[in-house]
Structures are given as C-alpha cells and as structure tokens.
Structure 1
Amino acid sequence: MSEPFYKYSELPNKKEESGNPIFSGWYADPEAVVFDNKYWIYPTSSLPFEQQLYMDAFSSEDLVNWEKHPKVLSIENISWLRKALWAPAVIEANGKYYFYFGANDIKNNEEIGGIGVAVADTPIGPFKDVLGKPLIGKIVNGAQPIDQFVFKDDDGQYYMYYGGWGHCNIVKMGTDLISIVPFEDGTMYKEVTPENYVEGPFMLKRNGKYYFMWSEGDWNGPDYSVAYAIADSPFGPFRRMGQILKQDKNIATGAGHHSIIKGLDKDEWYIVYHRHPLGDTDGNHRVTCIDRMYFSQDGSILPVEMTNTGVKAASLR
C-alpha cells in the first residue's frame, strides 16, 4: 500500500508555529545556518563551564519542527579542550563542513585555549579538531579569543570576526579555512570594535551594505541585548545605530548572542537568539528562541518584537 498523501497542515504530529523556546533544554549562543535547503542551529550547551564539553545540533525543514543531533562535537575529538566549549560558527565550503568553536575561557597568553576548528563530511559530524591546537590562541588587541563568526563576502573571501572583553578583531581566512593569512598591509589582526561592544559579533550583507551586530551587557544578566551598525566595508568603521533586541519584562530577559537566517522570500529574515525565562536567576538557564526581523525602507533594522509564539512554518523549498 502506498504512503498516504497529506497537505502540510494535515501532517501528523506537525506544528504550524514554533513556539519559544523552539526546543527544550538549556542552550545559548545559537549559530543558525542553512545547509542543503534545511535550517540548522548549533548552540552552546548552557551548563557550568566545567560541564561544557560537547555541543548538540538541531535541524528543521520548516523552522518549527526540530530534530536533535546529540554531541556533534565533543571532548573526545578535541585533545586540548578542558572546559567552556562555546559559541559555534559553522560553514560549508570545499565539500566539507567547518565548525569553529571557543574553548577553555583563557584569561592570559600562558593558558592553552581560544578559537579552534573542527571538520566533518556532514552537518551532524562527528566534527574532529584538525589542528591539535587553537587557530587563535592569544589575546590580541585586548580581545579574548571567543565568539567567532565566519563571514563570506561577495568576492568569495572569508573573514572571521571574534572577541570578548569589549574588543572585536577581524582576521582574513586562508583558502583552506583552517588558517589565517595577512591582510594586504601585512597585518594579521585588525580591531573593529564599535561603541558599547561586549561580545557575540555577527555580520550580514544586504543591498551592498554591511550590517555588523553584537551583544551588549552581561551575558547572565537581564540587560543583555543586541545592537548594530551599518558600513560600506567589512572593516567598518562601524558606527553604532542602536539596539534591536532587548529584554521584555512580559516575555523574557537577557536576550542576546544571536544569529540571522534568511528565508525563501527576497527579504525574509529570522533572528535566532537566547534569553532567560522570566523569574529565573540562574545565569546558565538560557533557552534558544526565534522571531522575525524586519528592515525599514531606509535600510535600518526595526526593533525585534520578542514573542512566546515564535514563527510560522517556513519551508526553503
């Protein structure tokens, strides 16, 4: 007997609205990407630092119904990991998937840790560290080597933005995507820190403009938030435009460390971020959420309305 045919709204066990949070468990710093007509989210496991030794992934065909893929990256495949496996950045290139991560929460240049890179043949791994050491393992320009985001410009060049402690650097990626190379002026690191920057950089290009975004405030406090700038170059200068995501005392607090994904329509955008449940004072109790993000006619980003309902089903096909 052939399988029954259903319209989407009639599919068994399918939701039509994501709800927030979009999946259960304590997860933060979500990296949202699209691979092969499917949405993917790679978050930090929001646990005490010593227990942050693995990362799960989640995939969806519609932003609403999510499948969990446990431990796509874990300590078994990172020889130098000791704690604080943070804030993924995942890209597809060269026929492989590259998973950039922060590890060990280093406080000085004598400690081993920083930003590493793991590689796999599929989006669910298992991802394996390819260098046996950090790609960026030193504190440069005052930036703790964490919270990396990898951005591909229209000319095919990849850049990495990263940094905590109120400083952000940009580096140029080598073609192998497991190395960094000098800029034309011979420098390896350029500081691009905007006003009020704390951590969590993200870059988006739209209509020829570079939208640089970051998190402000304390990651475990209620005032954690997202701000942005617009520039004509990936190097800035980035002049702060204002906040677009912050706490709503009727919905949640500590909304930040986000990423953006584009839907099927020309100007369809979603912001994926973490936040704290109302009344919860444990800093590690962070959940991953999604809401729509809109641009105004002048190109500025409108303030994001946080919701408990999330978004409606949106296929990439």
Structure 2
Amino acid sequence: MTWFEPERGDDKLREFLITALIDMSASLCLQDSEGRYICITTLPARWSLKSGVTPSDEAIFGADIGARLKEMKAGLAKPGDHAELEIEAGDDTFFEFRCRMIAMADQEVSLMTIVIDRTEDRRRERLLRALLREVSHRSKNLLAIIQSIASQTARYSGTLETFLTKFRGRLHALSQSQDLITDSSWRGAYFRDLLKQQVDRYVQENADLVKVSGEDVLLTPNASLHIGLALHELVVNAVSHGDFLSRRRRIEVSCERIETDAGPQIRVLWVEPVGSLDSEALKAARTARFGSTVLERVVPSSVNGQARHSLEKDQVRYELTFPQESYE
C-alpha cells in the first residue's frame, strides 16, 4: 500500500523520500518509454553529469557500466518486467542496479532504476567466508591433534581403563585451552591462564603450592593447545606420582623470553621437588612419569621447539623452548 496526505504538499513528500533514500544508501532514477531520463535522485558523488550534457547511461555511469545497463534494459518491455545487475565500480565498491518497468497513474510506461550501494554487504560476506575458512582450517587442526593424542595414549596404555582415564583428561585439557582461545577471538591464550586451568582442576585447594614467575606471554592458538596439554601432563604427574602435596613443597613454574643463537624464544620451566629416591624407586618413578611421549615429542614438535624432561633424585625438571612465532 502507498498513501500520503495530499494537504501536506509535494515539497514535504519530496524531502522525506530523498532523505530516506540517502539513509538507505539508495538512489532512484526514472526514464520514460523512450529511455529519456525524467528524474535522478541521490546518486553517489562518484557519478556526475557535466553541465549541458543530456542524461544517458553512458554520460552518467561511463562507457563500460552504461553499455551493460543499456543491454539489460533492452530486455524490458512491459510493466512488471524487471532485471538486476551487480557492478564492481572500482576502488573495491559494489553497486546493485534494480530495473523495473512500471505503469504510471496516466498509464504511461516508465523504467524505474534503483541503485543500492552494496559495498559493506560484500565486505561482510568476504569476511564471513574468510572466517568460515579459518574455522574449517582450525577444526581440521584440532581433529589432527585429537587423533595424535588418541594414538599416543593408546600406545602407552596397558588397559582400556587406563586409556579412557588418560584420554578423557587430555581431551578436557584441550577443550579448556580451546575455550580460552575462543574467548580471545582466536588470538590465543595467556600462559598463566593455561596453567591456572590445570591447577584449579587438580590442586585447587593447594594452589599456593604452584608458584609461577616470569612473563605472561600471549601464545598463538596452536601453541596454546599444545602447551596447555603439556601443563596438564605435568600437573597430573605431580599429583599422581609426586609428593609435593604431602611435603608441602612448592612447584616452581616460570615463563620468560630469552635470546638464543636461533633468535628470540620463550622458555617454559617446570621444577617440581620430590623426596630423595634410591635407585629402585627412581627407576619406578621414571617408568610411571615417562609413560607418555606427549611432553617429550608431541608438544615440542608441534611448536617447533625443544624439550628436556628429567627426573633426578630430588626434583622433576621440564624445560621447553620454542621460537618467537609461537607467541606475541
């Protein structure tokens, strides 16, 4: 339905329509049945008409766009006929031309063209496509990590129950790290947040026994997933096979930037005190703690780094170094 109050006058109606078109980033053109322009409103500043020049598609929009519009309009003959054309006008701008044949109040047939600026729509579409590709890529990476975790866990699990316990714990650690990455709009996760997740889950009542120092670096998404997994392994090993809780001795964790011959790197150091062990106890403890290759192979290879994992008579020491591209 279209209605307006006649007493208001054409001037007020014209002002309203032009303001509305500008707000909608739309323009309106009207041509008679012979193709002569009757009205042009609110065209973008990129298109203009020189003084004294008769309006035409070529004169207003240029030879290329004008030719394409002329070809499209040639297929419209009777009221109701319509066609649409999207044009890239240069400078990464896009415009949609909607042409329709209409019958006016005096039954004269005219051609109405609505020009809509679609630049922002196309930019949003490109961004959405890029985001979807990124999500697809990251999903494949995550599935590959899960597959690797499942393979390594199965290889070093003697029973199904052991496999399920370890696999579920590692998946949970992975999901917690993923939550941090998602909350940061895929920028990554901070080292201390990754450590806090594991401490809160396994030693929440004794969180004071895990002391962290150094820099709180922002790790890339890939590094966040794998280092979060390493911290999970270290905390679980400490709780399951260590005595720091009963002895009330602190685990020292540090994260710092260092300069090496290979360039700037990050060093993560875990030092866990253990009671003095004799040779037999030391051998048993190493077997229990080192049953997984996650700390020694999976994590360092995933961040292009190096790891040293050792169990001595009075401490467990894990040192991981990785290059600059894994953090910001």
Greater strand share, structure number:
1
Which of the two has higher C-alpha Rg? 2
Greater helix share, structure number:
2
**1 or 2 for the larger relative contact order (CA 8 Å, sep ≥6)?**
1
Q: Same fold (TM over 0.5)?
A: no
Band of TM-score, shorter chain: under 0.3
